[in-house]
Amino acid sequence: MDSSTVINLIVIILVIWFVYTRFGPTKGLRTLKEGEFRKEIENSPNKLLVDVREPGEFKGGFIPGARNIPLSQINGRLAEIPKDRDVLLYCRSGMRSKNAARILRKNGYTKLAHLQGGIGAWGGKLSK
């Protein structure tokens, strides 16, 4: 094998790894479709609904009962999220909520779920 082939293989492996870590499943995170997410909100007495979008996005409309803790601030606001509660996360599309779940998992949270497709998949009422 010549050096350009080796470099190409390394680049391909890195791209695959990057795509998998960004878009692959997050260990310990339940991914819920809109109907399942709605049932969790309605039926879980010990839930905390967290919108991880930025404040400007949150003001544009949010799921009733949600608390805004942006992904950019989550490390500094962990004390606001009890570890003994079911934490339901959502964002605009589902990517930031997955990233928030990774951060929470690293900090000892175990009861995590997020809305697949984010608020764009939400068919219910929004508060402003």
Provide the total of helices (H) and of strands (E) in the chain, helices listed first: 4, 5
Question: Which member of 87, 88, 91, 101 is catalytic?
Answer: 91
Whether 91 is catalytic = yes
Q: How many CB atoms lie within 10 A of CB 121?
A: 16
Segments in 24-48 forming alpha helices (H): 34-43
Rounded Cα distance, 6 and 59, in Å: 50
- Residue 117: name the closest of 85, 93, 97, 96 by CA: 93
Residues annotated catalytic, as ranges: 91
